[in-house]
A and B are shown apart, each in its own frame.
Chain A
């Protein structure tokens, strides 16, 4: 029997380009994204369900949804 790895989409923030405006924080339904120390937003991968709201909201469009093995 082969093992199956589930793939889930998670939000990923480009740390170098993030302007730390916090627009993503406001729209996240699970409070899975926070602006850390005023530098950049960071995603809690445990909480993120990959809904993509933050990516759509981000004014700089620096959040992408990437597949990650869970």
Chain B
């Protein structure tokens, strides 16, 4: 058995993040770390150390699907690991992300009121007003938090579904951040 390192417990951080967003939506801003750290590691370091070591989300699926046995441990379907699906999902994720940023902009610009909902799977609007207690900043800052938490919750739910159906960390196969950092690493090494 290998000695566990501090970064083997990042799943606790990931779980805490989701729980915090249940009580105060503004904690959702912390999720930006899950975007910038892997990007910086791949751009500056030229590696996928984030996926390989630090990703708490992947570890969470590993713990739930592995240790807790909540996974059928079947192979993912062939189309799910195809380049077309992985890049397609990355593009789709990007579009949805920019749409979320646009909604945030509209609130900042005063063209739209703050909507205290978390949108699950880009469709279902969940009431989430209990997690909003006002903000010292502009209402747009809260809108971004609701939007960002929606992104994080959606990817967790999708990851959980594929964790149960296939292998624990099936999410890693089509994770947009993983696909993007791999692309950056390929580009850096001239292997596009």
Contacts and interface: CB of A to CB of B under 8 A. Distances in A.
Contact of A19 (B53, B182, B189): B182
Interface in A12-70: 17, 19-23, 25-26, 29, 35, 37-39, 57-62
B39 to A, nearest CB: 12
Nearest to A24: B52
A21 to B, nearest CB: 4
A21 B172 contact: yes
B178 interface: yes
Say what secondary structure dominates the interface of chain A.
loop
B179 interface: yes
In this complex, the interface size class of chain B, counting residues with CB under 8 Å from chain A, is: 20 to 34
Contacts, number: 78
A18 B46 CA distance: 17
B155 to A, nearest CB: 15
Given A19-B179, A20-B182, A60-B81, A38 B173 contact: no
A67 B184 CA distance: 34
B75 A25 contact: no
A38 B172 contact: no
9 contacts: A19-B179, A21-B173, A35-B47, A37-B188, A38-B46, A38-B185, A39-B185, A59-B172, A60-B76
Given A35-B52, A38-B182, 12 more contacts: A20-B51, A22-B53, A23-B58, A38-B47, A38-B181, A38-B185, A38-B188, A39-B191, A59-B166, A59-B169, A60-B172, A61-B75
